[in-house]
Amino acid sequence: MTRKFFVGGNWKMNGDKKSLGELIQTLNGATVDQNVVEVVCGAPSIYLDFVRSKLDAKFGVAAQNCYKVPKGAYTGEISPVMIKDCGVHWVILGHSERRHVFGESDELIGQKTAHALENGLGVIACIGEKLDEREGGITEKVVFSQTKVIADNVKDWSKVVLAYEPVWAIGTGKTASPQQAQEVHEKLREWLKTNVSEAVANSVRIIYGGSVTGATCKELASQKDVDGFLVGGASLKPEFIDIIHAKA
């Protein structure tokens, strides 16, 4: 089965209307073969409406987080209903910064995933181990545990992209070697085959995140089980276009 390459840009808490407007102009001028690659940009929630209105339709837009209920007394949160009302169809959930800076539990991330999917959003679900977990030899234990909680909350896998992001390689300039990335992706696919189904294991896109750049993307993209990227800092630069074309 051919899995369409997927490149997500996570802009995090960066940019303003001026700088994001300039970035959008650059992206809009890029050639993107939508038969080859799906591209989704994760904008700060306050700019979702602005970005969706300015960014060419060949790009999707994602919120960087959402809550587990449609509305209510949850100051500072946004819901899938609000996200969709801005014309946005994706959300990033379980990012390591949500887990480790803001203390989100596996259980909460699972509940958010279920609610987002029930409300028609596509979910970029993030998993990944910290440096001490990698060095302690428990990478598989950690990522399988995180994946299980997500899997328990998914009915339709066609709306899910799984993003493996080794926490030790995010924002550090360190990148997992193509072989390290492939090894974890392959094991994740085996886990899905055993615990979900062979069809899901073959069809779900598992993307890599962790200091992906224009220089590292082609070799990473050549790995059998690496179906794309979730890109941090480089997604705010013109080299994001090189990353989009990594599979070309």
Known catalytic residues? 95, 165
Secondary structure string (H, E, C) spanning 63-97? ECCCCCCCCCCCCCCCCHHHHHHCCCCEEEECCHH
Do the Cβ atoms of 192 and 151 come closer than 8 Å? yes
Euclidean distance between CA atoms 51 and 87, whole angstroms? 10
Half-sphere exposure of 156 (CA within 13 A, CB side): 11
List of residues 6+ apart from 99 with CB closer than 8 A: 109
CA distance 161 to 189: 12
Whole-number Å distance between alpha carbons of 145 and 94: 13
Which tokens is 77 given? 């949160």
- Assess contact for 196 and 151: CB atoms under 8 A: yes
Query: What b/e sequence results for 172-187 when a residue is b if at least 16 CB atoms lie within 10 Å of its CB, and e otherwise?
Result: eeebbebebbbbbbeb
> Rounded to the nearest 5°, which phi and psi values hold at 61?
-130, 145
Tokens of 230: 């979730």
Task: Compute φ and ψ for 244, nearest 5 degrees.
Answer: -60, -35
